[in-house]
Structure 1
Amino acid sequence: MSDTGAVLSRARGAFRSREWSVALDQFTQAGAEAPLGAEDQRALAASQWWLGLADDALQTLSDTFGAYRSAGADHAAAETALLAALLHATRGEVTIGAAWVRRAERLLGDADATAAHVRLAYLHTSLGIGPDSEPWSARSVERLKELADRVADAGAVALSSVATGMRELREGDVVSGFSHLDDAMLAVVAGDLEPEWSGDVLCTTIHACHELADFERMAAWTRATERWSWDHGGDAVYAGVCRVHQLELRSAVGDDWREAELSLETTCATLEKADPWVAGEGLYQLGELRRMRGDVDGARIAYKLARATGIEPVPGAALLQLAEGEADDAWTTLTGALSGRDRLARVRLLRAGVEISLARDDASHAEAFLKELEEAASAFDTEGIHAWADHARGMVLLRHGQHDEALAGLQRALRRLRRLQLRWEQAHVLAWVASAHDSVGDGAAAQRARTESIEITDALGVAPVQLAPRRTTPSIGPLTARESEVPASAARGASNRLIAGELHISEKTVSRHLANIYLKLGVGSRTAAAAWWRDQDGARTSATGAHS
């Protein structure tokens, strides 16, 4: 039998040095020989959590809570209950987290305010527990601030800053909101909070940056928290969290997508139990990479996995349906996801809403989404949202035939995206620029834009951007609605290049449609196909006139 005291000494030393694997091994060995005290159980739980052993950590925290209660250490028990609540909520188990919150409430009672009371109020505020039933409500944020001011603890002030910042972001005060979040993040990297609470602050802040397309701030804090996570052990769970955020950024700028895809698969599998919410965000980004590479089946699998973690994979899943010609399904997916979302959470979906509406020839909804997006750009005032709004305006104006105004909006979007270094986004806008030039018959300018778009996608190793066709022409005879649009354009004398621009497809796709059309109609040329369409259209028009 080993010397239990020596084993515990090594375990505690390893824990202080953040050698989580050694600490876990030594605490486990000591616990097999004699029951661990509450403090050692708490350290064991932390080691398990950092190593991603979420189920083990939560069981150990439950044991720790019981040990503190048996010893009459109610305040320590309450602190343990709050930590269990946080970790359950992180896993998406909000009901269980709320039950632990109520345990902490009973133990803390009406005692003088402490840092534990601030953590309790933070959970009420961030989870929407209590009379307001709304995360980051004005009333709960104000109560949290009052408590933090009374306690005057750096960690408590940081939690209050997060809540104030998130409330202000939702009210449209981006400058002040991010200023408060930045203050909280300084406390994180300075070590003013316990690591588990620090992790919640960093994830909340970086997610807000991502939602509002503030990629510069997101990159800065991702780098800073990466260093913070390594200080807590390279195999720590939050090293994986930071890795997901880093990969989200790399995906946005188009940096080695193949390696990013492989890393996301591995990292998300590791995080699935410890932090399923972040894992879900990573799985959504994995789906986005696959969608942009043209891997339809792979994208669907990643979106399905993201959905299983509680993350709704939009707008990507809707855009995938649109690319597959399922505009109505895309509309259902997108509008279902928009329902019930607050103003901030809707922003990232609005540009896709414009594109899907236009593909369905639904101008009224396209204009409504555009109006909301432009109002959001004015309110939140980040370069990324302004780029989305400019792009959306260009799409709407193009479909209204206002080509010069459309090009101006698209070029503004392109300049913003170049400053942000978002390469695939640039290729997407360039495809619309090419379409705008095609619509006015400027084939040379269209070809330049299309070539630049293809050069970007080639460099990224992904498929060229294909714009969804507009649903305007009904099916005629043996032709589908999409096929019918091709001879309709050919009958007006449009070349393959101009047809591609009008229908937002590649020239290769036009040629493929023509080949199918010749086969279905039993003709051998575009002239014959155009003549057939004119005959059919004329007969249809005559029939309509006869019945009017």
Structure 2
Amino acid sequence: MGVLDDLHRAREEYRRREWISAYRELSGLDETDLTAEDFVALATSAFLLGHYNDCVLALQRAYHEALEHQDELAAVRAAYWLTTVLRQGSEPAIAGGWLSRAQRLLDDLDGDDVVERGYVLDQVAYGHIMKGEFPEALDLAPKVTAYGRRFGDPDLVATGLHMEARLTIFTGHVADGLRLLDEAMTYVLAGEVSPVYSGIIYCSSIEACQQIAEYSRMREWTHALTTWCDSQPGLVPFTGQCAVHRGQLMRLHGAYHEAVAELEHAADRYAAEGATQAIGQASYERAEALRLLGAYDEARQAYGEAATHGHPAQPGRALLWFECGRHDTAVAAVHRLLAEWQDPVHRSHLLPAAVEVLVGTGEADAATPLARELEEIATSFDCVGLHAAAAFALAQVALARQDAASALSEGRRATEGWARLDAPYETSRSRMLVARALRMLGDEESALADLTAARDTFAALGTKPTMREATELLGGGETPGGLSPRETEVLRLVASGKSNPEIAAHLVLSEKTVARHLSNIFGKLEVGSRTAAAAFAYEHHLV
């Protein structure tokens, strides 16, 4: 009677989602007293507490226990879960073996239509995703959902909808993808989905929103995920991803030091989970915050950690190189990435950085079509963050081409978009573009007002590079490169593409005087060409 009481208590703790107690009780019982379902409960508790090896062992016992009792469908479920867990644990070959076992068992059922076929189909589709075969996966995802609906299985419905949503977004059909994502999340938020599926769908859905700058949903669902994680003491999986998303939102809202701390916490959670590859994502996000603060050495190290753990360090690393004066290296990286990253989601992340680097190195002609491409993606995705980023890029290009009116219009559109998202850093950078356009148009008083507001915001945020930039534009700091006011005027005209005779006519100087000024500029800036001098002007926002 004592064993039955212990087993009953363990099962009740599992049903109440008390994972620590359930794991302790179930693992303390004699394995001969456990059913296949009990082993699955033990595996689930172990997984949620971060005990990866115990989870795998329990699922293997569940599989064999089910076969011993001739319950082939339970064995298929156990094999399916082993496939899922082993794939997440970066053991794809072994996972593939267990998927084959599940498929073989289903083949032996002589075509019976059972919900387990939908689960196996889910992992077949995921296999296509891992190989980059997205059309094949997208073809299977609605079939997974259909199995869930036919058999009234909310886990499978939500999983199928979520997979179809992410693949649809990845193809550029964002509005359709978001509708599917919203539907999948209704099952999760209503508590209809089991814990492991809930965690997976939460994290993946938030990641999808972050990738397309859909910050409203990201903010809402990150809050819900935080509450969900906090309600389950001892939970290990998903907590690292939750901390990453909190850090991303902190950075968006200008809390950079807090973001760095939260992202360090995320890396610790990933390490506890054994998800070493995911540490790379936390490192990259931390590097982005450090770069904006001007902590370049620390940012360089964090980008390196991201790359070491298998996470792309770009395009942030290219921006760091550019900001540290390694212009050729930054430009080379940008051109390589533009050739490699062709899907619209990745392009939406790359294009803002590419425009910034190319405009800043005097390649406005190359940046112009990229800014327009970003605007097309923003129109297609229809997310506020992308609209703001596209407007900012267009304003940068317009300034470089001396089109003050367009720069003013796009700069104001960028300012309004970032302000809607409560993104103070991006809002203030946009105001600096507005100020430069106003200055071109001769409205110095309005330009000074925008620059002062931007400088004060940067000072409060602690973003030293942009604070110095705003101070220079206000005239409150040393002239970049030690140039005299007249040399600065000459440099601005050189950067705008004017020849020596044109500069002489514009400034009412002799060509000999212009040549002397240009020689002095080259000497002070330690450059040897008009192109390099123009790049310096763009980098220091003299035009």
> TM-score normalised by the shorter chain: which range applies?
0.7 to 0.9
Query: SS in structure 2 opposite 1:128?
Result: helix
Contact kept in structure 2, 1:351 and 1:389, CA below 8 Å: yes
Q: Given residue 378 of structure 1, which amino acid in structure 2 is its aligned partner?
A: T
Q: Given residue 37 of structure 2, which amino acid in structure 1 is its aligned partner?
A: E
Give the C-alpha shift of residue 314 in structure 1: 2.8
Aligned twin of 1:370: 371
Aligned twin of 1:533: 520
Matched, 1:302 2:302: yes
Distance, in Å, in 1 between the alignment partners of 2:372 and 2:206 is 27
TM-score (norm 2): 0.80
Aligned twin of 2:244: 244
Q: Given residue 102 of structure 1, which amino acid in structure 2 is its aligned partner?
A: S
Listed one character per residue, the Cα deviations across residues 384-438 of structure 1 (whole Å, up to 9, x for unaligned) are: 1110110000011111111121121011100010011111211322333344445
Give the C-alpha shift of residue 77 in structure 1: 2.2
Within 5 Å, which residues of 2 pair with 1:218-297? 218-233=218-233, 235-255=235-255, 257-272=256-271, 273-275=273-275, 279-297=279-297
Aligned twin of 2:37: 39
Contact kept in structure 2, 1:434 and 1:445, CA below 8 Å: yes
Q: Given residue 84 of structure 1, which amino acid in structure 2 is its aligned partner?
A: L
Query: SS in structure 2 opposite 1:320?
Result: helix
Distance, in Å, in 2 between the alignment partners of 1:423 and 1:535 is 37
Contact kept in structure 2, 1:162 and 1:201, CA below 8 Å: yes
Contact kept in structure 1, 2:318 and 2:334, CA below 8 Å: yes
Aligned twin of 1:106: 104
Contact kept in structure 1, 2:84 and 2:123, CA below 8 Å: yes
Contact kept in structure 1, 2:331 and 2:357, CA below 8 Å: yes
Contact kept in structure 1, 2:36 and 2:65, CA below 8 Å: yes
* Matched positions, count: 494
Within 5 Å, which residues of 2 pair with 1:67-466? 67-109=65-107, 111-128=111-128, 133-134=133-134, 137-233=137-233, 235-255=235-255, 257-272=256-271, 273-275=273-275, 279-338=279-338, 339-439=340-440, 443-465=444-466
Q: Which structure 1 residue ranges, 5 or more long, are not aligned?
A: 469-482, 504-526, 542-548
| Structure 1 residues 388 and 95: alpha-carbon distance in aligned structure 2, compared to 1, 3 A threshold | farther
Query: SS in structure 2 opposite 1:414?
Result: helix
Contact kept in structure 2, 1:454 and 1:464, CA below 8 Å: no
Distance, in Å, in 1 between the alignment partners of 2:36 and 2:57 is 13
Give the C-alpha shift of residue 310 in structure 1: 3.1
Give the C-alpha shift of residue 288 in structure 1: 1.5
Distance, in Å, in 2 between the alignment partners of 1:133 and 1:451 is 51
Distance, in Å, in 1 between the alignment partners of 2:92 and 2:460 is 43
Q: Given residue 23 of structure 2, which amino acid in structure 1 is its aligned partner?
A: L
Q: Given residue 369 of structure 1, which amino acid in structure 2 is its aligned partner?
A: L
Q: Given residue 356 of structure 1, which amino acid in structure 2 is its aligned partner?
A: V
Distance, in Å, in 2 between the alignment partners of 1:373 and 1:535 is 35
Distance, in Å, in 2 between the alignment partners of 1:493 and 1:243 is 46
Query: SS in structure 2 opposite 1:237?
Result: coil
Contact kept in structure 2, 1:350 and 1:369, CA below 8 Å: yes
Contact kept in structure 1, 2:145 and 2:158, CA below 8 Å: no
Distance, in Å, in 1 between the alignment partners of 2:67 and 2:2 is 28
| Structure 1 residues 232 and 322: alpha-carbon distance in aligned structure 2, compared to 1, 3 A threshold | same
Query: SS in structure 2 opposite 1:361?
Result: coil
Contact kept in structure 2, 1:358 and 1:396, CA below 8 Å: yes
| Structure 1 residues 182 and 536: alpha-carbon distance in aligned structure 2, compared to 1, 3 A threshold | closer
Contact kept in structure 1, 2:129 and 2:137, CA below 8 Å: no
Give the C-alpha shift of residue 236 in structure 1: 4.4
Query: SS in structure 1 opposite 2:359?
Result: helix
Give the C-alpha shift of residue 281 in structure 1: 3.1
Distance, in Å, in 2 between the alignment partners of 1:442 and 1:486 is 26
Give the C-alpha shift of residue 130 in structure 1: 9.6
Contact kept in structure 2, 1:214 and 1:383, CA below 8 Å: yes
Q: Given residue 224 of structure 1, which amino acid in structure 2 is its aligned partner?
A: A
Q: Which structure 2 residue ranges, 5 or more long, are not aligned?
A: 470-477, 497-513, 530-543
Give the C-alpha shift of residue 94 in structure 1: 4.3
Give the C-alpha shift of residue 225 in structure 1: 3.0
Aligned twin of 2:52: 54
Distance, in Å, in 1 between the alignment partners of 2:458 and 2:354 is 23
Distance, in Å, in 2 between the alignment partners of 1:76 and 1:533 is 81
Query: SS in structure 1 opposite 2:29?
Result: helix
Listed one character per residue, the Cα deviations across residues 92-125 of structure 1 (whole Å, up to 9, x for unaligned) are: 5545444433332222226433332222222333
Deviates more, 1:342-351 or 1:9-18: 9-18
Q: Given residue 79 of structure 2, which amino acid in structure 1 is its aligned partner?
A: A
Distance, in Å, in 2 between the alignment partners of 1:48 and 1:334 is 44
TM-score (norm 1): 0.79
Distance, in Å, in 1 between the alignment partners of 2:444 and 2:226 is 48
| Structure 1 residues 300 and 10: alpha-carbon distance in aligned structure 2, compared to 1, 3 A threshold | farther
Give the C-alpha shift of residue 205 in structure 1: 1.4
| Structure 1 residues 277 and 384: alpha-carbon distance in aligned structure 2, compared to 1, 3 A threshold | farther
